[in-house]
Amino acid sequence: MKPSLLLYAPPHLQVPVTTLRGVGDSQATTLADSKFAIKSIQDLLQHYPRRHLDFTDSKPIDQAREGDELTIIGEIRKANTPPPMRGRKIPHKFALYDGSSHIWLTFFNQPWRARDLKVGTRIAAKGKVSVFRGSRQMNNPMVDIITEAGEAVRIVPVYPATAEIQTTKLRRYIAAALEQYRPLEDPLPQALLDRQGLIERTRALADYHFPREMAHKWIARKRLVFDELFTLQLGLAYRKHRIELQTLGIAHHTGDGLADEFLRALPFKPTGAQLRSIEEIRLDMARPTPMHRLLQGEVGSGKTVVALHAALLAVQGGYQAAVMAPTEVLANQHFLTLSALLEPLGVRSGRGKVEQMDLFGAPAPDGGAVTDFDNTGQIVLLTGSIGAAKRREALKRIADGSAGIVVGTHALIQEGVQFSNLGMVVVDEQHRFGVRQRVALREKTSGDSAPDILIMTATPIPRTLAFTLYGDLDVSILDELPKGRRPVKTRIVSEAERQSAYDLVRSEVRAGRQAYVITPLIDESDKLDVKSAETEAKRLATEVFPDLRVGMMHGRMKPNAKEKVMSEFRRGEVDVLISTTVVEVGVDVPNATVMLIEDADRFGLSQLHQLRGRIGRGEHASTCLVLSSVVDDEEAEPVALERLKVLASTNDGFVLANKDLELRGTGTVLGERQSGMSDLRLTHLLRDLKVLQAAREEAFSLIGKDPELLRHPNIRLEMEGRYSDRIEWLLRS
């Protein structure tokens, strides 16, 4: 059995749950086959409560008053549990007696209570006291069955459970495991625990599962949260150290040359954030160790200019640069953007032949290895949909080095692609690529040195979280928008106002502008999404905008079909584009000034912000209309409307990212950055930010003093257990 993914598991905890008294083969099979996959004692101890019921505030029934919220300890004396009747939901009532008086417990839509609350059962019931026809009662109280004679009133853990594995059984098993296997060996040194004010692990597990006081639960939680974050940060620190010290990189020529000539030729002045990021990347690329840097900036902040400058730093020294995008639409967008940005340098761009363009470099620096490059190269586009002849030509230019910059999709890492001298890799929208894809791209070169890697993301992550979560990467943040960029006005629209939204679309088109209409994407593979997009496009084209040119795009279209639609939209041949979230990233149409998002409550806050970023990219004022039925629905989930109100209140992606963390948790914001993030069973990254920072400092400090953790074997075992399914990620860049 492999080590646990979270905590150090000494051998005596890596044993089957059948070693517990009272757990036989049948129970063990049920635990293992459940969605919790509890197989070992370690798994059991890490099955944490989702909440605790505090039954310590008890009071005799005869002292309870209407409106009191308290706990009653007593015995079930009477049960009114009528059989179910068709079409009627009859409440189940139980009389609870504590020696002083009785109170009725009433349960609605909980027929299973008849099985658990039999006459003679001793329980603790927690709820609000009301009075009905002169009798005290509690409606749907929380209940704990007191299983042991004379058992004290306590704080009771409630575990994630199933119909086959009740929380009462889990409570019994976990209590037995804590008793049978204590004390647990603690891998963390006492000095570290003292510095961070942490209790030892045995006590932390016992106090979190079964706290004697609620204050003890929070002290225990701090230790367990620290453990989760410490092992995460340890893996990041370990990997970063190996990359920096054990991998041969390229010391690029970063003096004045093609890259700086490109900056001087820009038709606008770069922002301070862009110049700061460019300098950070320049310093990284000048070192003989591989750069691993994250460039974070929301839509419109100028990531492409920074990335192209980095690519040209490699090109001016005779190396190749690769730009990998997650979709063909985005790869084509990058190619066109790079073409436009390089035109001031005298680049000849064959716009009719999108697959290739010439790029003339600056004079070779003294001592620079540019002879094979001969001051001339090409930008080549390589995607899965190009024809065989064009693919052969592209592969030839990539292999012989005449392709200075290569833009592509996953096609860049397929068999048959071999770079001559790859020195720089730009990965756009990093959460859509796994580590294996980045490793595969790095290995597509005949050189001995690892290329520098720049990873871009447009998903805003709060600044401190970005620096902490991406511990294996250095982070550059573009937190300024270019001057003159108009903020997008966002308006919440109800169903009753739908016609006014259509009127705005029509007026913008009449003024020579273009519009998006976004339909919700429930599932990438959901055929209903395709149907809805097609149906909506047909409805708008025939019923709403019969006099306008309406196009359609969705994720299940073939790449060349999507590119055809986007090209028509970019050229102004389509007035209104009906699309799913396939336009969320990368598509740049400055003439689009209005976006209508249908059923906006189905989207997350960050995704809504990403979609909104497709407009407001030109000189004209832009408006985003978020249409939702929750505006007029009093029974709708309040958080859905709150998301829309937050979106309408600000264009600051970092403010929205913080709010998204609060509303939806960390998974939405972080995407697939860390597959291990799903193992953070207790941590809430926003709430536990101080613990996160402390864990990072301790982890990086420890790796600095003991890089291979030879003096801390149990900590290394814990780290390897955490990353057991990603050891390759730890050992390779």
pLDDT recorded at residue 537? 80
Identify the pLDDT of residue 359: 43
Contact 378, 341 (CB under 8 A): no
525 and 424, same structural domain? no
Q: How far apart are CA 336 and CA 354, in angstroms?
A: 8
Residue-range definition of the domain harbouring residue 71: 57-153
- Tell me, yes or no, whether 434 and 508 share the same domain: no
pLDDT over 90 percentage in the chain: 34
For residue 613, CA distances in Å to 210, 299, 332, 582 come to: 48, 6, 19, 13
The mean predicted confidence, pLDDT, of the chain is 81
pLDDT at 422: 92
- Phi–psi pair at 103, nearest 5 degrees: -140, 145
407 and 265 housed in the same domain? yes
Please tell me the total count of domains within the chain.
4
Residue 348 is predicted with a pLDDT of: 40
Q: Is the domain of 551 the same as that of 587?
A: yes
Q: Which residue has the higher pLDDT, 276 or 666?
A: 276
For residues 549 and 573, state if they share a domain. yes
Judged by DSSP in three states, 439 sits in helix
Query: Bridge partners of 106?
Result: 93, 139
CA dihedral 115, 120, 124, 126 (to 10 degrees): 60
Q: Same domain, yes or no, for 495 and 642?
A: yes
Residue 660: what pLDDT?
73
Task: Indicate if 281 and 404 belong to the same structural domain.
Answer: yes
pLDDT of residue 352: 31
pLDDT average, residue stretch 424-431? 78
Confidence at 225, pLDDT banded by 50, 70, 90: very high
667 assigned to some structural domain: no
In terms of Cα–Cα distance, which of 293, 267, 297 is closest to 481? 297
Residue 702 falls inside a structural domain: no
Q: Are residues 355 and 424 in the same domain?
A: yes
Q: Is the pLDDT of residue 281 over 90?
A: yes
Specify whether 1 is located in the same domain as 81.
Answer: no
Supply the angle between the helices 605-612 and 653-664 in degrees, to the nearest 10.
150
pLDDT, residue 608, reads 87
What pLDDT is attached to residue 731? Answer: 58
Are 513 and 392 part of one and the same domain? no
- The pLDDT, as a whole number, for residue 689 is 85
Q: Which residue has the tokens 């902490």?
A: 468
Same domain, 585 and 634: yes
Residue 419 belongs to domain with CATH number: 3.40.50.300
Quote the Cα angle for 606-611-615, to 5°. Answer: 130
490 vs 460, more confident: 490
Convert the pLDDT of each residue in 147-156 to its tens digit: 655 556 678 8
Q: How confident is the model at residue 11 (pLDDT cuts 50, 70, 90)?
A: low
Phi, psi of 557 (to 5 degrees): -75, 155
Residue 464 has pLDDT above 70, yes or no: no
> pLDDT by residue (tens digit) across 483-519?
767 789 999 999 899 999 999 999 999 999 999 999 8
Is 347 part of any domain? Answer: yes
Residue 258 banded pLDDT, cuts 50, 70, 90 = confident
Strands 403-408 and 320-324: parallel
The last residue of a domain, from among 153, 176, 199: 153
Asked if residue 498 and residue 422 are part of one domain, the reply reads no
- Please indicate, yes or no, if residue 686 is contained in any of the structural domains: no
pLDDT score recorded for residue 586: 53
